[in-house]
Chains A and B, each alone.
Chain A
Amino acid sequence: MVGEMSAPPLSPGGGGAVGLDVIRGRRSRSGCQSEMLDSLLASGGGLVLLRDSVEWEGRGLLKALIKKSALCGEQVHVLGCEVSEEEFREGFDSCVNSRLIYHDLFRDPLNWSKTGETSPGGPLGVLRAMCRRKDPGPATIALDSLSWLLLHLPCTTLCQILHALSHQNSYPGDSSPVKQVHVLGLLHEEIHGPGLLGALSNLAQTEVTLGGAMGQASAHLLFRKPQQHPTYQTSWFSILPDFSLDLQEGPPLGPQHHSDLHTSLVDPMTHLTFNLHLSKEEKEAKDSLILPFQFSSEKQQVLLCPGPGQATSRIFYEPDAYDDLDQEDPDDDLDI
């Protein structure tokens, strides 16, 4: 079952299914572990983009979301391109594993083994088959990873398929109810350029960018709801060995926090043994001083026109025997 039924429903009118009220009630408790997962798997379906990096992996969060969906009764299709089925299923209990269908694109995606086990059409064929899925009921499709698919399929094709997957509405003329499909895509953002990332970002209803600081993982969430402003949220979390989520307060603020508390405005010149202050007259004299190598117009005049002070300096010159006394001034041809 989804969770305990003891929490009171938030809305007194009691509209909606009982299960939804339980989820709302759980959301009201602070630090609730499933709050973040609930917001990511919100009703309406759509593409959830999990952007991870080398240092902060996203597969753990992807598996946590898969576990949540499976425990809610949804069927989960995993397109596994990067890890083996055995490794992916590790850590899930039998309840989750029974709802998980693994489409293996890890072992032989390009048919190099020539054993005939590869599905015809390759990765594209598998994706298209998923689009044509006719099973009723909500489902979750996990793509591990979108980066692998982007490297092997043209971006436009993949974007079209993603759009088709996340909007698996009823066909015209079909009276069956709208199928709610969550598409979870794991994307390694360092591999791709900004153009590709932007294109996928525009397709996504929700974006989760994983990061962290000081050993604590964080998720920066961006929700795009139609006709509403995008909303942002940052959560600090850790994933437990059974792939449930544990929300944290955030990393300890560390040394910079302590320095803010203890530093006060101290004048560094109070305890010196020498005087660094300038009196008003000293300041004025300092400001009006002409620097020796600053060539101002006054200085130019002083140099060019010998003033009364120049007569005091003399040059005493004793020519040697072999000196060539040329009275011609070599600078005569300069036009100053």
Chain B
Amino acid sequence: MFPELNSLLNTTPAGVEQGKMTLLCDAKTDGSFLVHHFLSFYLKANCKVCFVALVQSFSHYNIVGQKLGVSLTMARERGQLIFLEGLKSSVDVFFQAQEEPHPLQFLREASAGNLEPLYQFVREALRPVDDGEATWKCPVLLVDDLSVLLSLGLGAVAVLDFIHYCRATVCQELKGNVVALVHDSGDAEDEENNILLYGLSHQSHLILRAEGLATGFCKDVHGQLRILWRRPSKPTARQDQSLTYQYKIQDRSVSFFAKGMSPAVL
């Protein structure tokens, strides 16, 4: 996890808010550093994490996780991490006979599918297990990423329904958190992606939006992060809950600074 991002978001692994949905969004840049941050953050916070990883392999996340101080292999072995490796298990849909529907069963369906099997997988993975062993703090669902589901042929409404059910189960019933990454293509004509992005934004409590700089690529400033807090439990007098920072990604950390205050410039 990145300590500077923790202080911007005012969280620590010791005091994790529960029942929240966080939306990670990237536009014209790669926002996967946010996924690595939240994965290592919740593992360090002793939460049970179900990671639906559709974009990269397990070893990729493991290598990055080791740089950030967590071992995914060990977390998986002790039952803290349930990892659905989309790249590997999607092949199983076709080549292995399944008694129950595979989480990625929609890949096999000719007509527009839904994500009910994936939801049942998540529900089963994060179900509180009462076997006397060490109990984890709160369940967390992490999805990387949701836009790839649109590319695989699902409709935006199917993905929204999946996240709706995950919120109802993970956030509301189990008092856990949901974190999902979605890409903003910036294409106004991509209606499905817009429906997905705005539909998710309205469901979220916290939106982190990583944007590339409007002026183009820069060696010292890799992008801009906009943080928007929404849906407070009680309405507050001021609704302006938005902050913007610029960032630079280094090997093991990400440094954040106010706009125009990059150390390279000062």
Interface residues of B in 212-266 (CB under 8 A from A): 228, 230-231, 233-235, 237-240, 242
**Residue from A90, A107, A147, A215 in contact with B168 in the complex, judged by beta carbons closer than 8 Å:** A107
**Number of residues from A at the complex interface, CB < 8 A:** 36
B165 interfacial contact with A, CB 8 Å: yes
- Smallest Cβ-Cβ distance to A82: which chain B residue: B203
Selected contact of A238 from candidates B161, B194, B195, B237, CB within 8 Å:
B237
Q: A84-B168, A84-B172, A193-B191 are in contact. Are A212 and B198 (CB under 8 A)?
A: no
Once A108-B168, A110-B161 are accepted as A-B contacts, the answer to whether A212 and B239 lie under 8 Å apart by CB is yes
Assess whether A190 is in contact with B194, with CB atoms less than 8 Å apart.
yes
Q: Using CB atoms, name the residue of chain B closest to A151.
A: B157
Does A138 reach chain B (CB closer than 8 Å)?
no
Q: Most chain-A Cβ atoms within 10 A of its Cβ — which of B161, B201, B239? A: B239
**B239:A215 contact, CB within 8 angstroms:** yes
Across the interface, name the chain A residue whose C-beta is closest to B161: A110
Cα–Cα distance between A90 and B19 once the two chains are bound (Å): 15
Within 8 A of A (CB), among B128-177: 157, 160-161, 164-165, 168, 172
Secondary structure of the A side of the interface?
loop
10 residue pairs, one from A and one from B, having the closest CB atoms:
A215-B240, A239-B235, A190-B198, A54-B201, A241-B234, A215-B238, A60-B235, A191-B198, A84-B172, A188-B202
1/0 per position for A203-237, CB-CB distance to B under 8 A? 00000000010111100000000000000000000
A313 CA to B88 CA, complexed, in Å: 83
CA gap between A105 and B165 in the complex, in Å = 11
| CB pairs A–B below 8 angstroms (6 shown) | A56-B239, A82-B203, A110-B116, A147-B202, A191-B199, A214-B240
User: In the complex, given contacts A87-B172, A91-B235, A110-B114, what are 17 additional A-B residue pairs having Cβ atoms less than 8 angstroms apart?
Assistant: A54-B201, A54-B230, A56-B239, A60-B235, A82-B202, A84-B172, A86-B172, A90-B233, A91-B234, A112-B120, A152-B157, A190-B201, A212-B239, A216-B239, A217-B239, A239-B235, A243-B235
Is the CB of B178 closer than 8 A to any CB of chain A?
Answer: no
Report B-chain residues with C-beta under 8 Å of the C-beta of A59.
Answer: 231
| CA A60 to CA B195, docked complex, whole Å | 23
Determine how close the nearest CB of chain B comes to the CB of A159; give it in whole angstroms: 18
B38 proximal to A (CB < 8 A): no
Q: Give Cα distance in the complex from A60 to B203, angstroms.
A: 14
Q: Distance in Å from the Cβ of B202 to the closest Cβ of chain A?
A: 5
Give residues 105-120 of B contacting A (CB, 8 Å). 114, 116, 119-120
Could you say which residues of chain B place their CB within 8 Å of the CB of A217?
239
Assembled-state Cα–Cα distance A188/B119 (Å):
25
- Tell me, in angstroms, the Cα distance from A198 to B235 when the chains sit together: 30
Q: Which A residues lie within 8 Å of B198 (CB)? A: 54, 188, 190-191
**A151 close to B116 (CB less than 8 A):** no
- Interface residues of B: mostly helix, strand, loop or mixed? helix
B179 within 8 Å of A (CB atoms): no
Q: Which residues of A contact B (CB under 8 A)?
A: 54-57, 59-60, 82, 84, 86-87, 90-91, 106-110, 112, 145, 147, 151-152, 188, 190-191, 193, 212, 214-217, 238-241, 243
Residues of chain A within 8 A (CB-CB) of B194 are 190-191
Cα-based distance from A54 to B202 in the complex (angstroms): 6
* B58–chain A nearest beta-carbon distance, Å: 28
The answer to whether A57 touches B231 (Cβ under 8 A) is yes
CA distance A108 to B169 in the complex (A): 10
Pairwise interchain contact B237-A191, C-beta atoms closer than 8 A: no
Tell me the smallest distance from the CB of B122 to a CB of chain A, in Å. 12
Contacts of A215 in B (CB 8 A): 238-240
In the bound complex, residues from chain A placing their C-beta under 8 Å from that of B172 are 84, 86-87, 106-107
Contacts of A241 in B (CB 8 A): 234-235
Q: Does B207 contact A (CB under 8 A)?
A: yes
CB distance from A218 to the nearest CB of B (A): 10
| A-side contacts of B203, CB under 8 Å | 82
**Chain B residue with minimal CB distance to A63?**
B235
Rounded to whole Å, the gap between the CB of B33 and the closest CB of chain A is 23
Q: How far is the CB of B254 from chain A (nearest CB, A)?
A: 25
Query: Which residues on A sit within 8 Å (CB–CB) of B160?
Result: 151
Given A106-B168, A240-B235: A151 in contact with B228 (beta carbons within 8 A): no
| B242 interface neighbour in A55, A84, A110, A239, Cβ under 8 Å | A55
